[in-house]
Amino acid sequence: MIFKPTADDYKLIGLYTGKLTVALGLIKFIPAITSLFFREWNTMLDFLIGAVACIALGLFLQILCKTKKDMDWAHGLTVAALSWVIAMFMGAIPLYLSGHFTSYIDACFDAMSGFATTGLILIQDIDHISHGLNMWRHLTMFIGGQGIVVIGLTLLVKGTAGAYRMFVGEAREEKILPNVIQTARFIWYVSLTYLILGTLSLTAIGIIEGMPPLRAFLHGIWIFIAAFDTGGFTPQSQNIIYYHSFPYEIVTMIIMVLGTMNFALHYALWSGNRKEIRKNIEIISLVITTSGLFAIAAASLKASGAYSGVASMFRRGFYQIISAHSGTGYSTIYASQFLTDWGPLAMFAITLAMAFGGSLSSTAGGIKAMRIATFFKAVRQDARKIMSPAATIVIEKFHHIKDLVLEEKFVRNSMIILLCYVIMYFVGTIAGMCYGYPLDQSMFESTSAAANVGLSCGITTPAMPTLLKVIYIIQMWFGRLEFISIFALIGFIIARFRGK
């Protein structure tokens, strides 16, 4: 029997959703201050309107839903899923007011793409947008990469059992430190440390390449944010091609790899456990799949004669594989070149790289390296069972921060999420084909949206069908939160009408 939600259930969800909405509103003052510095008065007003709207809604929800009770798992997961929808609608306000979008749904598309660290865009005339708007676009990726709930835990929400349940609702499966607030702050500590180092490196390269210092700094901070949070937004329409710099490409690849690593692995390395990088099952899985997929792509590209020489293959081929596998979406080729230069086999390799994704509890999307490794470990375990005597107990082990036994519950959970991703990739592909796009292009774009990557072969444009935009928004939302919290929200809505 399904129980109908009570008034207390609504209050708990409304209260914590309100807290997270206020936190989002406070962050909008950063692009407002940026606009003030550059005297972009209209843009500053857009963000002040957006900030006031967020804070007003958040305070209203907190006053209306005041309660001292703590959340259970259903509440925490529902808050996580609902907060991302509200963040999309509220985050789209300054985007739409900027005048660079043909409709509010297009602004919502880019807002969800930013928060979900996807990188697909519908913004128009990107080369001439304001500094404040560029700051907000990239901040959405920094917020989404670390997590909207992590923002709230850091700024406004006390460390309760319910706080941990919201944290898990954002597809953060590992509590790195004993307290979830400490975990959230460690994530910020790592991110901000890399932000300083990465920004300085990219700024230095930009200045050496001839950019004015202030412009080099702004591009450095924006490119770092989108690379580390595996998002893929850039301040220029040409993406990474704009910089025409091999050092820039090398640094962004390093940042992308750091962004796709599990924060628990970051903690192990920062604690002095350097051996973990060689023993960790996720790193081993990423190395194997990256190497294999690049070999397939390189063989196809060499056969077609698309790129000649090792340097060209590295900058055009390997860079795209790393960008796709990490879920970043940075590109050193134009979208049309996937169709004209790469061919079906190389495009299939890129599609698989996007589908596989990065690590658990990182800023990356996709199925994740741990689940890919778990699948093959489970297959090997079953094969060993078949080949062993009936009474034999077969135990499969792996190493992730510590030595672990492959348990049936973990395998089951991993396979459910893996299957959900495959179904979502398939649904998006069918949707694209229904609008007349070829199979390979539909699969490429659907996987890019659902795995939160952002690479495009040309389908994602302001002119594409509105329903397809909505489907991609839903895919980005599901992909970033990894289904469970959204299923909880759907269950809550069903219980509202069918519960007893």
Query: pLDDT by residue (tens digit) across 411-440?
Result: 888 899 999 999 999 999 999 999 999 999
Characterise 230 by phi-psi region: left (phi > 0), alpha (psi -120 to 50), beta (else).
left
What H or E segment, with its residue span, contains residue 404?
A: strand 402-405
Q: What's the pLDDT band for 316 if we cut at 50, 70, 90?
A: confident
Q: Which of 109, 133, 102, 168 is nearest to 38 (CA)?
A: 133
Q: What's the pLDDT band for 167 if we cut at 50, 70, 90?
A: low
pLDDT at 30 over 90: yes
**β-bridge partners, 283:** none
Whole-number mean pLDDT of the chain? 87
Residue 168, pLDDT score: 54
Residue 495, pLDDT score: 79
Residue 429, pLDDT score: 97
Residue 358, pLDDT score: 87
Check if the beta carbon of residue 300 is closer than 8 Å to that of residue 349. yes
Q: In the structure encoding, which two tokens stand for residue 395, read together?
A: 């135990």
Q: Which of 73, 57, 55 is nearest to 65 (CA)?
A: 57
Q: Which of 216, 251, 244 is nearest to 332 (CA)?
A: 244
**Strongest mean pLDDT among 6-15, 170-179, 181-190:** 6-15
Check residue 8 and report its DSSP letter. Answer: H
Check residue 364 and report its DSSP letter. Answer: -
Query: pLDDT by residue (tens digit) across 196-238?
Result: 999 999 999 999 999 999 999 999 999 999 999 888 899 999 9
The pTM assigned to this predicted structure is 0.91
pLDDT at 359 over 60: yes
Residue 155, pLDDT score: 54
Q: What's the pLDDT band for 500 if we cut at 50, 70, 90?
A: low
Average pLDDT over residues 445-467: 94
Give the angle subtended at the CA of 341 by the CAs of 322 and 119, to the nearest 5°: 45
**β-bridge partners, 404:** 398
Higher pLDDT, 197 or 309: 197
Give the range among 71-75, 256-260, 287-291, 422-426 with minimum mean pLDDT. Answer: 71-75
Q: What's the pLDDT band for 162 if we cut at 50, 70, 90?
A: low
Residue 16, pLDDT score: 85
Residue 156, pLDDT score: 53
Average pLDDT over residues 278-303: 91
What H or E segment, with its residue span, contains residue 410?
A: helix 408-434
Residue 175, pLDDT score: 59
Check if the beta carbon of residue 18 is closer than 8 Å to that of residue 65. yes
Residue 138, pLDDT score: 94
Give the range among 63-67, 70-74, 338-342 with minimum mean pLDDT. Answer: 70-74
Check if the beta carbon of residue 145 is closer than 8 Å to that of residue 230. yes
Average pLDDT over residues 304-315: 83
Please count the residues of the chain: 500
> CA-CA-CA-CA torsion for 99, 105, 110, 115, nearest 10 degrees?
130
Average pLDDT over residues 153-179: 56
**Which residues have a Cβ under 8 Å from the Cβ of 439 and sit 6 or more positions away?**
429, 433
Average pLDDT over residues 72-94: 87
Query: pLDDT by residue (tens digit) across 117-133?
Result: 899 999 999 999 999 99
Average pLDDT over residues 170-186: 64
Residue 172, pLDDT score: 58
Q: In the structure encoding, which two tokens stand for residue 418, read together?
A: 């893996």
The residue type found at 111 is A
What residue segments make up the domains of the chain, in order of their start? 1-172+483-500
pLDDT at 406 over 90: no
Q: In the structure encoding, which two tokens stand for residue 119, read together?
A: 């990188």
**β-bridge partners, 398:** 404
Q: In the structure encoding, which two tokens stand for residue 383, read together?
A: 């094969």
Q: Which of 453, 497, 490, 461 is nearest to 116 (CA)?
A: 453
Ordered alpha helix ranges (H), 229-318:
246-259, 263-270, 276-279, 281-304, 310-313
Average pLDDT over residues 23-46: 95
**β-bridge partners, 402:** 400
- Residue 407 to residue 143: CA distance in whole angstroms: 34
Q: How far is CA 488 from the centre of its chain?
A: 20
Average pLDDT over residues 58-69: 86
3-state SS, residue 291? helix
- Residue 29 to residue 293: CA distance in whole angstroms: 43
**Which residues have a Cβ under 8 Å from the Cβ of 442 and sit 6 or more positions away?**
428, 429, 430, 431, 432, 433, 459
Tally of CB atoms within 10 A around 419 = 12
Query: pLDDT by residue (tens digit) across 369-401?
Result: 989 988 888 888 888 878 877 767 778 888 888
Q: What's the pLDDT band for 410 if we cut at 50, 70, 90?
A: confident
